Structure 1
């Protein structure tokens, strides 16, 4: 006899309470807001809370929010078109699924499947260990370098961490008889596990395609009038990330040192694994060529404003080549559920944020904060906003939900108080990458690497607090100075 699937009904309690209370306050909403603006705010907040409490997977939660948006008359299903001019008067919810950022990430997930399927990711990992693995600190830097390379190839920080890096970390640790959940974890496993997490943060910060929250920031910045290109993000991030790449593994090595300092067997282990893999296969070669082509085209998109260099089109082109050459199959693409899941929830969240803008909520919020901060210098305001965006992540289990909820309002406030648009957009966007240095539930990689048994929860929180301060210093001081040098503001 078939049974119903399990649903976390308790997870609906807080979204419902908050949504209903906010909606009921519509008659006494703040002056300057239309009823539609406040009602849309109620639905949006309830949806974000649902993304945190997770009554359903995030795709299902946002779909419920989209249904509520239509049921409450806040948006039609289809676009409403003026019969005389043919212009769109009101955007319908179906238009949300034409969002380019969502499709870019979906296609990039499918590209990532090709890296895993062909074994290219493992080959890169073993070669990195082979070259830098003579010492524990060297392995830490090798893992960081591996993450930085994968950051350009795999747009999902969880896929990079869980699918490629963690298996390598586990293999290296157990190769030195460093096992989870006992004292042997301190031999080397705990150090490289925690270093792998922070390597993921750095790789996420280096590329706009490094993780979904970056793409959310890119889309939200565009709504404020600032375009973040692939190459533009990379150039702005390269110096602070380079400094972090040098400092972070060394700091972890000092505050959380491995008992094993020398690792002479790492090279042999990597050699053995490469021997098992054999020479580079034809699928690996095609996969490498396709990703090199995609990276070049993404970089050139900052210089050539042509449809052929549009970042989303590049991702479609790469997937098409992989399908035509037989590196992946359509079954592989359809089976990559993460791609289609993110297409749904990211499209919906961006659509809802757009409705908050069109109904005037964001404009009202910006003006209200601007008035309350009258006379305060934009530098102080921007610093406070960056700190708030970082430390409020203790209340979020999803980087995407966090950025969707706060990035655009914070950016609007910063600009309204006189802060340069480009500087504000990039500093707040970077915070969405390194604010994962907070909790064991901060994002997907944290959930993966904090639960392996190598690092205790108390250690995770304590060391992340220290490293969080380092990230704030690097991205709060070095990044603005570097962006000034390159003329971004």
Structure 2
């Protein structure tokens, strides 16, 4: 007789207590909020708490939150369309049309192809040969790789999911470090966490590093400050350089790999490359598709062509791999991580979007503006940076977060007397580094937190510590550097 699947029923206690408790406060909710906005907030918070207590795997938790959203009458199943064919209310099925989620899912499948063909191991052995004498050296090599890719690939999810993660996975497995309790901390956990923070730094360095940066650029222009590619780079280069030096080292000390010294790594990697021999046909095709994807992702930053959409490029790459026989449909369906992310990230983005639709985010930003009157402008700017950073716990999309809060926060800072250019860049950089919070903070977080190398509790604890480092550098080093280059 088959038994029931295990369910952590105790894990439901806190989500239910918090969710029901907040829902019962609907009658005494803050002025300016509708009942729907408050109920959506209650469900969203309960879902996030559920992601922490894990009564079910995260996909199950978020699907439960989605069902509760419908049962509460906050969203229909299908889109509601008016007589003119316009969508008046988004249904829950629209959650799974989120392009970022699909990009990450396809990137996971590409990563599987890189691993299956052996191309990932070949790249990993070459990196180990060059930088592998110490594990921290590999960490800095990954950071450097991300910083270079940040200038080339405008999608942070594409950089991590399509390029960096397959390499990190292959390096980890080359040291027999797999996402299990026995071996994950040999080196894999360290490299995965470094790769995530390297992506944050590459995002912060370039205005084209990710979509939220370009939202900030457009909104700063509405206040009269035009942020060019070079002006963003000049403003970001010193804070990012400081972080690029200290963050991998802090991770190395805080979350040390078991394998620290590998003096014979170069010789070993060279011998493994000889064993692999010349590239196989599947490897060559995979390499060609890999390079094609990178080139197309680079071009997508310069040309507004539908076929150069980052998500479509990932779909195209997967289809080519299927047609050429590098992957088969069984491979595609077997990459469970891809479909897991597609479910939970899509749901969280949808729920966060509902918070905005019901006016919760507008109320939140207005409340902040009203409470920060008659205070020194620099203190106000620091408070706004902190609020921008920590409010990201309520967002599963950096783009949605920046769209909702950047312009209101910038307006508050300028009205208080803060220099426009300094406030614009400090809030913009905060928008880049605030992803160092949760496992659902952005696409790369979703990719790397789902690999199994870093446990969710570790992710939150260590990111809280590193968040303080980011804030110290952005506020401290940033404000001094901005004055030096004439932004303050």
TM-score (norm 2): 0.74
Q: 1:96 to 1:20 in 2, by over 3 A?
A: same
Q: Which runs of 5+ in 1 are unaligned?
A: 172-179, 182-188, 452-456
Shift of 1:388: 6.1
Task: State the alpha-carbon separation in 2 of the partners of residues 336 and 38 from structure 1.
Answer: 37
Per-residue deviation, residues 353-402 of structure 1 (Å, max 9, x unmatched): 11111111111111111101123466544534555676899xx8xx9869
Shift of 1:49: 1.1
- 1:148-159 matched pairs, under 5 angstroms: 154-155=160-161
Q: Check if 1:417 corresponds to 2:416.
A: no
Distance in 2 (alpha carbons) for counterparts of 1:434 and 1:161: 24
SS of 2:435's equivalent in the other structure is helix
CA RMSD in angstroms, aligned pairs only: 4.8
Map of 2:73 onto structure 1: 73
Q: How many residues align?
A: 447
Does structure 1 residue 58 correspond to structure 2 residue 58?
yes
CA contact (8 A) 2:192 2:453 kept: no
1:200 equivalent in alignment to 2:203:
no
> Tell me, what secondary structure is at the counterpart of 1:375?
coil
Show CA shifts across 1:424-444 (max 9, x none): 2442332313789xxxx9983
Report the counterpart of residue 174 of structure 1 in structure 2: none
Q: Distance in 2 between matches of 1:316 and 1:147?
A: 22
User: 1:448 aligns to what SS in structure 2?
Assistant: coil
Partner of 1:342: 341
Would you say 1:328 and 2:333 are equivalent positions? no
Alignment partners' CA distance in 2, 1:245 and 1:224: 28
Q: Provide the rounded CA distance (Å) in 1 between the counterparts of 2:305 and 2:283.
A: 29
SS at match of 1:30: coil
Report the CA distance between 1:77 and its aligned residue. 0.9
In structure 2, the CA distance between the partners of 1:429 and 1:25, relative to structure 1 (3 Å rule), is: same
Matched, 1:431 2:434: yes
List alignment gaps of at least 5 residues for structure 2.
150-155, 222-228, 415-422, 440-444
Aligned partners of 2:485, 2:193: CA distance in 1, in Å?
27
* 1:163 paired residue among 162, 169, 179: 169
Q: CA deviation at 1:311?
A: 1.3
Say whether the 8 Å CA contact 1:133–1:139 is kept in structure 2.
Answer: yes
**1:114 and 1:247, CA in 2 relative to 1: closer, same or farther beyond 3 A?**
same
What's the offset of the Cα at 1:258? 11
Query: Mean Cα displacement is larger for which, 472-481 or 3-12?
Result: 472-481
How far does residue 59 in structure 1 lie from its aligned partner after superposition? 0.9
**Structure 1 residues 119, 377: CA separation in 2 closer, same or farther (over 3 Å shift)?**
farther
Q: Tell me how far apart the structure 1 counterparts of residues 172 and 19 of structure 2 sit (CA, whole Å).
A: 39
Conserved? CA contact 1:147–1:160, under 8 Å: no
What is the rounded CA distance, in whole Å, between the counterparts of 1:146 and 1:483 in structure 2?
26
Structure 2 distance, partners of 1:277, 1:207, is 32
> C-alpha deviations, 1:299-341, integer Å up to 9, x for none?
2222211111111111111111111111111111111111111
CA contact (8 A) 2:80 2:89 kept: yes
Aligned-pair CA distance for 1:113: 1.0
Are 1:93 and 2:92 counterparts?
A: yes
User: Could you tell me whether the CA contact under 8 Å between 1:144 and 1:196 is conserved in 2?
Assistant: no
Partner of 1:41: 41
Task: Give the distance between the partners of 2:371 and 2:144, measured in 1 at CA.
Answer: 45
Aligned residue for 2:96, secondary structure, equals: helix
CA distance in 2, matches of 1:487, 1:339: 45
The residue number in structure 2 matching 1:186 is: none
**Cα distance between partner residues in 2 of 1:62 and 1:392:** 20
